[in-house]
Amino acid sequence: MSNEQEFLPFPKGFATTAIHHSQEADQWDSMAIVPPLVTSTTFKQYGPAKPKQYEYGRSGNPTRNILEQVLANLDNAKYGLTFASGLATHSTLLGLFNNGDHVICGDDVYGGTGRLFRQVATKFGLDVSFVDFTNLAVVKNSIKSNTKLIWVETPTNPLMKIVDIKAAANLGKDNNIIVVVDNTFLTPYLQRPIDLGADIVIYSLSKYMNGHSDVIMGALTTSNEELYEKLKFLQNAMGGIPSPFDCYLVNRGLKTLAIRMQQHQKNGLAVAKFLEQHPKVEKVLYPGLKSHPQYDVFRKQTSGHSGTFSFYLKGVLKDAETFLNALNVFAIAESLGGYESLAELPSVMTHASVPPEHRAAIGITDNLIRLSVGIEDVEDLIADLEQAFSKID
Ligand SMILES: *Cc1c(COP(=O)(O)O)cnc(C)c1O
Q: What is the pLDDT of residues 61-72, one digit of tens each?
A: 999 999 999 999
What does the pLDDT read at residue 3? 52
Mean pLDDT of 25-36: 95
Name which residue sits closest to atom 9 of ligand 1, judged by CA: 86
DSSP secondary structure string for all residues of 172-238: HHHTT-EEEEE-TTTHHHH--TTTTT-SEEEEETTTTTT-SS----EEEEES-HHHHHHHHHHHHHH
Structural contact between residues 134 and 154, judged by C-beta atoms closer than 8 angstroms? no
The confidence score (pLDDT) of residue 148 equals 98
Distances (CA, A) of 360 to 283, 291, 370: 17, 23, 16
Domains of the chain: 14-254 (3.40.640.10), 257-389 (3.90.1150.10)
Cα of 159 from ligand 1 centre, angstroms:
16
Report the nearest-CA residue for atom 2 of ligand 1.
Answer: 204
Q: Please report the pLDDT score of residue 24 as a whole number.
A: 95
Work out the pLDDT band at 355, boundaries 50, 70, 90: confident
Of 204, 157, 202, nearest to 178 by C-alpha is 202
Closest CA to 193 of 169, 217, 216, 175: 169
Nearest residue by C-alpha to atom 7 in ligand 1: 86
Judge contact between 307 and 340, C-beta under 8 A. Answer: no
Residue 290, Cα to own-chain centre: how many angstroms?
23
For residues 156-172, average pLDDT: 96
Distance between Cα 218 and ligand 1 center (Å): 8
Q: Which residue would you say has higher pLDDT here, 2 or 190?
A: 190
User: Does the beta carbon of 157 lie inside 6 Å of ligand 1?
Assistant: yes
H helix or E strand, kind and range, residue 149: strand 147-153
d(CA 93, ligand 1 centre) in Å: 14
Cα–ligand 1 centroid distance for 104 (angstroms): 19
Do residues 79 and 97 make contact, with C-beta atoms less than 8 angstroms apart? Answer: no
Amino acid at 241: I
- Per-residue pLDDT, 377: 98
Ligand 1 centre distance from Cα of residue 333 (Å): 14
337: left (phi over 0), alpha (psi -120 to 50) or beta: left
Does the pLDDT value for residue 1 go beyond 50? no
pLDDT score recorded for residue 358: 86
Closest protein CA for atom 5 of ligand 1: 86
Tell me if 262 CB under 6 Å of ligand 1: no
Q: Burial-class residue 357 by CB neighbours within 10 Å (0-12, 13-18, 19+).
A: exposed
- Dist CA 313 CA 323 (whole Å): 9
Rounded to the nearest 10 degrees, how much is the dihedral formed by the CA atoms of 26, 29, 35, 38? -150
- Would you call 108 exposed, middle or buried from its count of C-beta atoms within 10 A (0-12, 13-18, 19+)? buried
* 7: pLDDT strictly greater than 70: yes
Give whole-number Cα distances, 350 to 101, 114, 118, in Å.
28, 11, 16
pLDDT at site 5: 60
How far is Cα 41 from Cα 61, in angstroms, rounded to an integer? Answer: 8
Distance CA 80, CA 201 (A): 9
pLDDT-based confidence at 194, cuts 50/70/90?
A: very high
Cis before 279 (ω within 30): no
Task: Indicate the pLDDT class of residue 319, thresholds 50, 70 and 90.
Answer: very high
Query: What is the rounded average pLDDT of the residues 284-304?
Result: 96
The Cα–Cα gap between 147 and 170 comes to 15
The answer to whether the CB of 218 is under 6 A from ligand 1 is: yes
Task: Name the band, by pLDDT with cuts 50, 70 and 90, for residue 301.
Answer: very high
| Chain centroid to CA 360 | 24
Residue 335 CA to ligand 1 centre (angstroms)? 8
Neighbours of 287 (CB within 10 A): 26
Which residues are known to be catalytic?
Answer: 58, 110, 182, 207
353-291-9 Cα angle (round to 5): 95
Cβ atoms of 153 and 159 within 8 Å: the answer is: no
The mean predicted confidence, pLDDT, of the chain is 96
Q: What is the pLDDT of residue 312?
A: 98
pLDDT digits (tens, 9 = 90+) for 257-275: 999 999 999 999 999 999 9
Give the tens place of pLDDT for each residue, 359-372: 988 899 999 999 99
Report pLDDT digits (tens) over 68-84.
999 999 999 999 999 99
Q: How far is the CA of 359 from the centre of ligand 1 (A)?
A: 19
Structure confidence at residue 353 (pLDDT): 84
State mean pLDDT over 216-228: 98
Atom of ligand 1 nearest to the CA of 336: 15
234 to each of 60, 87, 241, 351, how far by Cα in Å?
Answer: 13, 14, 10, 29
Indicate if ligand 1 lies below 6 Å from the C-beta of 210: no
Contacts of 178 (CB under 8 A, 6+ apart): 96, 148, 149, 150, 172, 199, 200, 227
157 CA: nearest ligand 1 atom: 13
Atom 6, ligand 1: which residue's CA is nearest? 86
Q: Does 216 contact ligand 1 (Cβ within 6 A)?
A: yes
According to DSSP, the β-strands at 200-204 and 178-182 are: parallel
- For residue 90, the ligand 1 atom closest to its alpha carbon is 10
Give the residue, by CA position, lying nearest to ligand 1 atom 8. 86
Does the CB atom of residue 115 touch ligand 1 within 6 A?
no
Q: What is the pLDDT of residue 39?
A: 98
| Pocket-testing residue among 115, 200, 204, 216, ligand 1, by greatest number of atoms within 8 A of Cβ | 204
